[in-house]
Amino acid sequence: MLLDEPFGSEPHVRERERAAQWLLDHGDRAHPALLDALAAGRASPGVIELLARFGRAESIEPLNRVLSAAGPAAWNAAQALARHPQPEAAEALRRALRDPAPGVAIAAADALGARGDPGECAAIQAELRAEDPIVRYHVVQAAAGLGCVPAEWLAQLAQTDPDADIQALAGRLAESG
C-alpha cells in the first residue's frame, strides 16, 4: 500500500522507499505476487516501476505486454523497461518503437531516450521519418537527447519538417546542442 502512494513529503518518500526495499529483500515471495498483480491489471505505477528494480528477466515479457496493450499503464511499463538492467528489455523497447500504435511508439521513444544509451541511436534514427507527427516529435527528442543527430541536421529539420511543432522542437534543440 505504501508503494502505491505517489504523494507526500520527505517522510512519506522514505516510507515508500522502505516498503519498496522490503519487497526487493523478499523477492522470492514479492516478485511473483507483483507479476500476478500486473497480469490482472491491478499494478500501480509504483509496482510497475519496482518490477524493473528486481532486474529479473521474467518481468520483461509481462511489462512488454502492458506496453503493447497501449493502455493507461503503457508509458509506465516503457519506463520500467528503460530502467531494467537486462538487455532483453532494450530489445523490447526497440520492437515497441516500430509498433503501429502511436501510443506504444511514443512510450518506447521516450523510454529509449530515458535509458540514455547512445547504442540505441540506430533504432531511433530508423524512426526519424515516422509518419505520425507526434511519434516523430518524440523520436526527434530522443535522438537529440542521445546525441544521435548533429545540430546541422536539426537546423535543417527546423526548416523542412511539415509539422510546426517539430520545426520548433528541432530549432530549440539545434540552438542548445
Q: What is the dihedral of CA 148, 89, 131, 118, to 10 degrees?
A: 0
CA neighbor of 135 nearest in space, from 160, 171, 98, 167: 98
**Tens-of-pLDDT digits for all 177 residues of the chain?**
556 666 667 887 788 889 899 999 999 999 999 999 999 998 889 899 999 999 999 999 999 999 999 999 999 999 999 999 999 999 999 999 999 999 999 999 999 999 999 999 999 999 999 999 999 999 999 999 999 999 999 999 999 999 999 999 999 999 986
Single-letter code of the amino acid located at 139? V
For the chain, the straight-line distance linking the first and the last C-alpha, in angstroms and rounded, comes to 43
C-alpha cell, 133? 507527427
Stated pTM of the model: 0.91
